[in-house]
Amino acid sequence: MPAAESASRLAAFRPKLLDTLPGYGRAHFARDVGAGLTVGVVALPLAMAFAIASGLKPEAGLFTAIIAGFLISALGGSRVQIGGPAGAFIVIVYGILERYGLANLIIATAMSGVLLFLMGLFRLGTLIRFIPIAVVIGFTNGIAVLIMLSQVRDFLGLELASVPASFFAMLSALGGALHTVNLAALALSVGTLALLVAWQHAMPRLGPQKLQFSGKLTLIPGTIVALGLATGASELLALPVETIGSRFGGIAASLPAFVWPEFSWSTVRFLLMPALTLALLGAIESLLCARIADGLTEDRHDPNQELMAQGLANFVTPFFGGMPATGTIARTVTNAKSGAVSPVAGMVHALTLLAVVLVAAPLARHIPLAALAAILVYVAWNMGEWREFVQLRQYRMPYRITLLAVFGLTVIVDLTVAVEVGLIAACLTFIYRISSLTRAEAVSAQDQPVLASQDGQVRAWRLYGALFFGAVKLVEDMEHQLPARALVLDLKNLIYVDSSGADTLLDLARHCQKRGVRLILCGLAHQPLDIARRSGLLAALPAADVCPDLAGGLAAATLAVP
């Protein structure tokens, strides 16, 4: 029986794909193929750009989008979510590479996959929603700033061998290389960025009367248009700019091969925190993305199944040359708006990228890195919630401090430290808020006339809120102002009592017994009654001193007064 109960607490492994197959027809397949092809085109430049920004070869991003994208769609808990490399991972992956090397990045990514799978298996998917929005916005905006800073070298065409991961070292290196600005690279990146902004903002405003095919043009991804024009301009004008071919030697037109990294068990323990950071960030990103997808499709995702799929994808992908993967908001929104109805669209997107790698990989060597840098700057800007900084005055001081602290620590120190500090700050704020809502009110003689005849020998209190470790001082203070004969506590309005609260009530009972004061508890019900029973509080009091309501408690208290 215990084994059966334990098994029932585990999440069932049931991909959303199985729920979409009944009634799935030719029309649905046509819509999924169209959406998958569109998303594949959108994902192509982003996958390469994210890999390059992370310090990896461009094919690492493509292999991740192919393998992880296929697995996340086929096994995930959302109908239209698209998985793959994400901008949020750039800073973490770059830091792991610089500190631990490629082999340990593979191990850390695989470890994060195991953690993600276990989180889903043990039904922790819903707990991710309890992470405060201030923490999420703080590190999202911080990551966006770091992504933009990491692209300054290629955006300006600086002659710099590598960009350090730490903030101040990065600023020092970039500042020292500003005299090497490549004007051709700068012009190309500015032109690419301007085209992306114009495509996003100006194109939808052009009506049919101004541009006959404006409706169809808006369906073409701006990143592909900008990348194609930038590559064409670079080749036709023979611009002296770095390309994928000049830095990486191009992209291999072949399937990824299995790679077993060389590592020692002594280094695995140092990878626990990086792996945990990858897992938490991947879980947050994927579940936030899935919630956005739910709003676009009027569907409901399974968070635990989604985490298990993310875990399997992140465990498999790094051994085939990939990088960490998660749900991607931009590609998921594109998928939903392109008419996707099932996870088949995400699988088609992965197959589309596979076809591009096998057929058109040689063309990628001509793509200028300045154009990819401009695309990443554009993505990072759209990724940030910049309006939150303008609207900070509308929020309370704890919210402002948490958001700004997480943002500053993400940029200056480290994402892991930022999330840890943010969660601690949010927890302390929550504890303070809940403790301030817990209060004790003295029952007056006007409210209960029976108290008027006791001449102060009986005192009664009503407790409200939650009696937990942050609010036990309310009960501790009562020990210093005990009445002569009886103390009555009305606990009807307590919604929660933790073990610290129960221990404090027990201490109060012992203190009352030493002073010869009768302690009477009233209105215990639900969770407070359960913990009072389990903690031994009820056993420590006579049955006559546990009453169903305040009136009964006061009536019992009068018997203690001669």
CB-based contacts of 556, cutoff 8 Å, min separation 6? 520, 544, 545, 547
- pLDDT average, residue stretch 463-468: 92
Contact at 8 Å (CB) between 157 and 241? yes
CA–CA dist 41, 331 (Å, integer): 10
CA–CA dist 157, 182 (Å, integer): 5
- Phi–psi pair at 123, nearest 5 degrees: 60, 40
Q: Would you state the pLDDT for residue 482?
A: 87
CA atoms within 13 A on the CB side of 25: 2
Instruction: Provide the token pair at 535.
Output: 């903690």
Q: pLDDT at residue 562 above 70?
A: no
- pLDDT average, residue stretch 51-77: 94
Go through the chain and tell me how many residues it has: 562
């999202």: which residue's tokens?
Answer: 140
Q: Would you state the pLDDT for residue 420?
A: 79
Q: pLDDT at residue 406 above 50?
A: yes
Q: pLDDT at residue 247 above 80?
A: yes
Q: Would you state the pLDDT for residue 8?
A: 54
Q: Would you state the pLDDT for residue 257?
A: 83
Q: Which of 152-166, 304-318, 506-520 has the highest mean pLDDT?
A: 304-318
CA–CA dist 245, 247 (Å, integer): 6
Q: pLDDT at residue 520 above 80?
A: yes
- pLDDT average, residue stretch 164-181: 88
pLDDT band at 202 (very low <50, low <70, confident <90, very high): low
Task: For residue 520, give the 3-state DSSP assignment.
Answer: strand
* pTM of the predicted model as reported, rounded to 2 decimal places: 0.75
Q: Would you state the pLDDT for residue 4?
A: 46
Instruction: Provide the token pair at 218.
Output: 């808006």
Q: What confidence tens digit (pLDDT) does each residue in 409-456 have?
A: 988 887 778 877 888 888 888 888 888 889 999 888 777 887 777 777
Cα angle 503, 507, 508; round to 5: 115
CA–CA dist 340, 334 (Å, integer): 9
Lowest mean pLDDT among 95-99, 472-476, 534-538, 556-560: 556-560
Contact at 8 Å (CB) between 426 and 137? no
**Average model confidence (pLDDT) across the chain:** 86
**b/e string for 171-209 if b means 16 or more Cβ within 10 A?**
eebbeebeeeebebbbebbebbbebbeebeeebeeeeee
CB-based contacts of 248, cutoff 8 Å, min separation 6? 52, 57, 58
Q: Would you state the pLDDT for residue 419?
A: 75
């993967």: which residue's tokens?
Answer: 325
Lowest mean pLDDT among 120-124, 213-217, 310-314, 456-460: 213-217
Residue type, 305: Q
Cα angle 14, 16, 19; round to 5: 90
CA–CA dist 230, 189 (Å, integer): 8
pLDDT band at 203 (very low <50, low <70, confident <90, very high): low
CA–CA dist 210, 216 (Å, integer): 13
Task: For residue 492, give the 3-state DSSP assignment.
Answer: strand
Q: How many Cβ atoms sit within 10 Å of the Cβ of residue 452?
A: 10
Q: Would you state the pLDDT for residue 204?
A: 54
CA–CA dist 480, 484 (Å, integer): 12
For 530-553, the DSSP string reads HHHHHTTTTTTS-GGGEESSHHHH
User: How does strand 458-467 pair with strand 518-522?
Assistant: unpaired
pLDDT band at 205 (very low <50, low <70, confident <90, very high): low
Which of 495, 491, 497, 435 lies closest to 461 in space, CA to CA? 491
pLDDT band at 560 (very low <50, low <70, confident <90, very high): low
Q: Would you state the pLDDT for residue 399?
A: 86
Helices 272-297 and 415-437: crossing angle, nearest 10°? 70
pLDDT band at 61 (very low <50, low <70, confident <90, very high): very high
Q: What confidence tens digit (pLDDT) does each residue in 282-320 have?
A: 998 898 888 878 877 878 899 999 999 999 999 999 999
Lowest mean pLDDT among 2-6, 174-178, 191-195: 2-6
Q: pLDDT at residue 189 above 60?
A: yes
Contact at 8 Å (CB) between 105 and 97? yes
